Structure formats: C-alpha cells, structure tokens
Amino acid sequence: MSEAWIIEGVRSPRGGGKQGVGSMTHIHPQRILAQVLNALQERAGFDPADVEDVIMGNGSGVGDHAMDIARMATLDAGWPVSVPGVTLHRFCGSAQQAVNVAAMSVMSGQQDLVVAGGIESMSRTAPLSVDGFTANNAHLYAQYPLVPQGISADLIATVEGFSREDCDRLGVESQRRAAAAIDAGHFKRSVVPIHNDDGTLALDHDEYPRAGTTMESLAGLNPSFAKMGAMNPPNDTRSFDEICKAVYPQISEVNHVHHAGNSSGVVDGASALLLASPEYAKSRGLKPRGRVVMTATAGSEPVIMLTAPAPATQLVLKKAGMRKENIDLFEINEAFAAVVLKWQREMDLGNEKLNVNGGAIALGHPIGATGGMLIQTALDELERRNQSTALIAMCTGGGMGTATIIERL
C-alpha cells in the first residue's frame, strides 16, 4: 500500500451563520469554496491541471449548495475544465469523509493528487427541521423514528446522567481554549481571508467565539430543544420526547440541557486539503506536512444518533494497530457538549490532549466543512508542539462516526 501525504491544508474563517449578521452570509458557497481552493493552490504551489479529483463534503445538497458543489466551485475557481469534482454527504462528517476517501484513493495507488475538504453556508440552509432524517420513508420511520440532533444530544445527556453544569463546564472550557488559541495566533497557519465579489475583504478570522464566557453567563440561557421536544413529528401522535422515552424506556423524561452556549455554533465556512502520493510529491518537489495513517467509520443506534465517535475511535485505533496512549492529540467535534462527554466516558480519557484549541461550541461547526478544519487544526498543533500523531473523530446524522489518524512528517 502506498502512503497518502498531506501536503497542505487551508480553510476559510468560520463566519456567523445568521443572515445579515455573519460576514460571509452574502457570499455564494461556491465562491467561498473557490477562494479556499485558490488559496490552497497558491500556498502549496501545485499545478491544478494535475488534480485528479476535488472531493468535497456538504451536508445540505439543496439550493445554493446543490448540483455537485465540488465541480461548480472548481470551475468557479478557474481551474482547468479537465479537473473533475464530486460532492459527498455523510452529514456532519462529510469533509472528514472526503479526506478519508481521498486518502484511500491515494493509498490504493489509483490517484496521485487529490483535493478534499468541504463547504457549508449554514446561513443558507433551512433552520433545523423537525421532520427530516427518514425523508418521508414510513417503513424506515417505523423501525427508527429519528429525532432532531438537539433532541438526540439531550437524550445522551439524560441516559448518561450528564447534568446541565457538566455540559456548561465543557462549553466554558471550549470558549476559554479558543480565546487563548486566537490570542496566540494558532489558527493563522490555516485560515485564509475570504473576499467579497468586489474584491474587498469579507472576513479573515473566526467571528463566532465569545471570549469571557463563564458558568454564570451560561446559567441564564434557556434550553434550546425543550419546546421542540414537546412537538410531534409529522404523521406521529407522539412528541419527540415521548419517542425518546419509547426507545429508551429507562428514562422517565428527557433532560433538556443543551442551549446556545454548550451546542456547536451555526456558521459558514469551507476547508480544503491537498493529498498526494509520495512518488508524485517527490517528482514535483512538494513537501509533506503529514500523512493519513488510517481511517474508519462506525455506526451506532440512530435515535440517540450522536454516540458513534467512540466506536469509530476504537475501530481506527484497532485498524492502525495503535492504542489510545499512542495518540498525542485528539480532535473530537463538539457537536454538542454531551457528545464529547460521552466520548470521554467511553474512551476513559480526560481533556488534557483533547480539543486543546477549543472546539465547535466556541468556534462553530459548518457541518460539511468541519472535518477538514479539524484535521488542519490537529496538524498545525502537532507542528507547534513538535509531536507526532493526532486522532480526529466526529459524530454524524443517522448515527455514524468518522475517524482519521494522522501523523506529522
């Protein structure tokens, strides 16, 4: 098997995802991604004509995100028409899956130069829907009455006994670490500026974090998913909370602990990494920053939905012949506080090596783009600390988890 070298990675800033408030909401997602692709090309100095595929994750696939956004953004970037693009969807794990697929392709020897990452303008996607996951398939719904992700996160907290305070503590720590990372310039290596169509600067830094967040400032926030929990999905006489109780009879009620300060932020953003075979890279003088060691994907019960990061972590470690002690840094996506707490409980790990620059609660989680961002953050941090190995894992819709182990070269 060949190796998949990571030559370079860049990302847009995470811009606020509320229309009229965020600094990139007016920019078409194809344009945001095209600018990231061109920044990657400028940074790494490769010939776009040699790129064999541009694989991009996206969790929406409709409206301005529709029609194979990877191909459209590649054309918008002005790359040769010979460069194809493909968009893939594994919900929140889409960009990580794109990088994993690119790595598999390069490692198998089928392709030599692949760009992978993702894009999501959450400001353009519909607000969190209460119908949705089973896409009107009554047969599937009868087996798995999937609930919205915020309800699933509250269900994890309830089943596991995580309190509102436990979740708030994680939210405060995410903000504290993100603020320290921003002050120290830790994201400067990966973030590239995004410009408006007239060439003026739109945004050059993550704008979602709220430095100075405390337990006291979070204490006053209302749970975000309690009202939703009392609502009925279409074609079901039960509320979402009642569905949770039916699937998890050990609970007497759903404890709605998640809110804006301990859930991932709704933001816009894009990411892209360049992966190459050693032979191609050497022949073009491209220096590797790292390599993909192993990838894995796992599934878990889909109503609670967000519990597969630990099984994915265990699987990727097993496949790589490694133990958790061999990993220097972990990036576990902070989709919701309870997701990370559950991962920590299952993995029996503290937070010393975990999300050391903060996570999506502070920084935001642009669904289909986040995986690429996490891999870059991990690689940047390995370089900064002169360490070797990082493991990145995410939960996704539908009850899945994605995982990647990278090694600095």
The residue nearest ligand COA at its CB is 260
Select from 75-83, 105-113, 129-137, 264-272 the region that touches ligand COA (CB under 6 A).
Answer: 264-272
Q: Name the region of 12 (left: φ>0; alpha: ψ -120 to 50; beta: rest).
A: beta
389-396 and 329-332: which strand pairing?
A: parallel
Active site annotation includes 167: no
User: Which is nearest to 42 in space by CA: 96, 79, 67?
Assistant: 79
Question: Which string of x and - marks every residue 300-339 that binds ligand COA (by CB under 6 A)?
Answer: -----------------------------------x----
Catalytic pick from 89, 92, 167, 256? 92
Distance of alpha carbon 43 from alpha carbon 16, whole angstroms: 26
CB of 145 to ligand COA, least distance (A): 18
Distance of alpha carbon 190 from alpha carbon 62, whole angstroms: 28
Residue 264 is a binding residue for ligand COA (CB under 6 A): yes
Active site annotation includes 244: no
CB of 28 to ligand COA, least distance (A): 22
Q: Return the sign of the alpha-carbon dihedral for residues 341, 344, 348, 353.
A: negative
Active site annotation includes 195: no
Residue 221 is a binding residue for ligand COA (CB under 6 A): yes
Specify the residue for token string 């739109």.
202
Distance of alpha carbon 356 from alpha carbon 239, whole angstroms: 38
Distance of alpha carbon 108 from alpha carbon 57, whole angstroms: 21
Residue 260 is a binding residue for ligand COA (CB under 6 A): yes
Q: Return the sign of the alpha-carbon dihedral for residues 341, 346, 351, 357.
A: negative
Provide the residue type at 314 as one letter. Q
Residue 146 is a binding residue for ligand COA (CB under 6 A): no
Residue 365 is a binding residue for ligand COA (CB under 6 A): yes
Select from 4-12, 96-104, 213-221, 369-377 the region that touches ligand COA (CB under 6 A).
Answer: 213-221
Residue 218 is a binding residue for ligand COA (CB under 6 A): yes
Q: Which of 23, 35, 100, 263 binds ligand COA (CB under 6 A)?
A: 263
Residues 6+ apart with CB under 8 A from 77: 33, 34, 35, 37, 38, 41, 48
> Any idea which residues carry the catalytic annotation?
92, 365, 395
Contacting positions for ligand COA (CB under 6 A): 92, 128, 149-150, 175, 210, 213, 217-218, 221, 224, 259-261, 263-266, 335, 365
